[in-house]
Amino acid sequence: EDQVTQSPEALRLQEGESSSLNCSYTVSGLRGLFWYRQDPGKGPEFLFTLYSAGEEKEKERLKATLTKKESFLHITAPKPEDSATYLCASNTGNQFYFGTGTSLTVIP
């Protein structure tokens, strides 16, 4: 069964304390691994798409990487405004499978 699992469920970091979020997937026919940021009560905001193992993409303090079974979202020196829920999703052509997300809180 196609599945996406994220860990940890929640993460509290001090401002400046770097960490990583994990997304593991068991999906047949993967056609992209997506990362989104979601603020409370709002729709997800697109961050990255990764297509092949070994691929990396960066945006400000965020860096996403992809292996054959996992993706990581690395957050370097986070700031309070990075607090949000981070969702990963796999795409198999015409359907996205989302994980339940990691709720990140960055404390000043």
Partner 1 sequence: ETGVTQSPTHLIKTRGQQVTLRCSSQSGHNTVSWYQQALGQGPQFIFQYYREEENGRGNFPPRFSGLQFPNYSSELNVNALELDDSALYLCASSNTGKGDAEAFFGQGTRLTVV
Restricted to residues 36-95, the positions that interact with partner 1 (CB under 8 A) are 36, 41-46, 49, 51, 87, 89, 91-95
CB of 6 to partner 1, least distance (A): 8
| Peptide bond before residue 108 is cis, with ω within 30 degrees of 0 | no
Token reading at 54: 């070994």
CB of 32 to partner 1, least distance (A): 5
Assess contact for 81 and 15: CB atoms under 8 A. no
CB of 36 to partner 1, least distance (A): 8
The secondary structure element, H or E, covering residue 55 is: none
In this structure, are strands 10-14 and 102-107 parallel, antiparallel, or unpaired?
Answer: parallel
Residues near partner 1 (CB under 8 A) are 4, 6, 31-32, 34, 36, 41-46, 49, 51, 87, 89, 91-101
